[in-house]
Structure 1
Amino acid sequence: LALTVPRPAALALALALGGVIAAATALRAERRRAASWTAGALFLAAAWVRLAVWGVTVPEAYTLPVTVPALVVGLLRRRRDPAASSWAAYGPGLAATLVPSLAAVWSDPHWTRPLLLGTGALAVTLLGARFRLQAPLVLGGAALVLVAAHELAPYVVQLVGALPRWLPPAAAGLLLLAVGATYERRLREARALRGRLARMR
């Protein structure tokens, strides 16, 4: 591996061959755990190096090969142990794709990535709510809110700029009055929502 570092194409091949050797070693029961993780890491590194050689700059091409196996492992873990936290089972896999994609959205002038990421985040949020899983609900909902904020921000700025100067402070004051008048009820609703979220796995 060290000898092939200056030549990325050869490095990708060496990493893949190392993954094959580690996968063959994982056939032995006493070495299965360590060798299988090593094989996965080597195959992933080989794929990443090959993508870099090809000039691929889309972050999802690098993150999805991590996300899919991580989610499968999380699903198998929760089937074996239903009491396992959804953060331990699904959190790393979801974050591996959502966080880099969100970072890419903020510098992407096109509409395709925000649309696809928003659709995926909505699906993750709905699945989290349907199966009462905290990690997909929180991560998907946060990603959905951030994508919506990114897409709506230019229009909100234009709208605020077109309004009279006194109107935004007046609207903020009315909002504060409304929140203050219903403070106790909002506090009870927030506590109930926090309790429902805490009961999720």
Structure 2
Amino acid sequence: MKKVVIVDYGLGNIFSITQALKVNGCTPIVSSDKNEILSADGILLPGVGAFGDAMAKLVELNLVETLREQANKGVPFLGVCLGLQLLFTTSEEFGSHKGLDLIPGTVRRFPNSYKDISLNVPFIGWNFLEKKKEDAFLEGLENKSKMFLVHSFYVEPKDASCVLGTCSYQGFAYPTMVRKGNIFGVQGHPEKSGPDGIKIYKNWLNIL
């Protein structure tokens, strides 16, 4: 059985994610202990809230370099919701903040409007995944699979080739699923997205 650690830094939707992993036959360890993380076969970084607060908690717990070390060693690493955004270099949320820099790029706020159509921020609700390429992380997911999202910011990677799927908000397309080698991310909440969301976690566990 592979050892999966959900990083507990006080800002994650941990219970729901744990249940979604258990449905897929995995009982994860929820921990902020460096030794647990360093011995993990897979690391899941959840997140709900503000980017700067999340990074401050990871710094306070002395986990930033630990997470980078494991990611750079090739350990499969999944960021969910805010956890996806933390994978990137910087965020513009409430100022400028440095992230884990595992995927080069920036976290930006949704524009107030797009092509003269107002965008209500945050976006809360269901959206449809547009697959951009085939990947084991998307196994069994149809184009237009439904995803539940709650967010005001989106990721903008420097290298668009890491984008596996996008969603569109009033015509404004933005990345919602990414992969850069062993680094994976999903903007939505798979644990709240029904059977398609469960498949996302299943696929990641299978990649381990």
Do they fold alike, i.e. is TM over 0.5? no
Task: Give the TM-score category using the shorter length.
Answer: under 0.3
Which one has a larger percent helix, Structure 1 or Structure 2? 1
Q: Say which structure, 1 or 2, has more relative contact order (CA 8 Å, 6+ apart).
A: 2
- What TM-score comes out, normalization by structure 1 length? 0.25
- What TM-score comes out, normalization by structure 2 length? 0.25
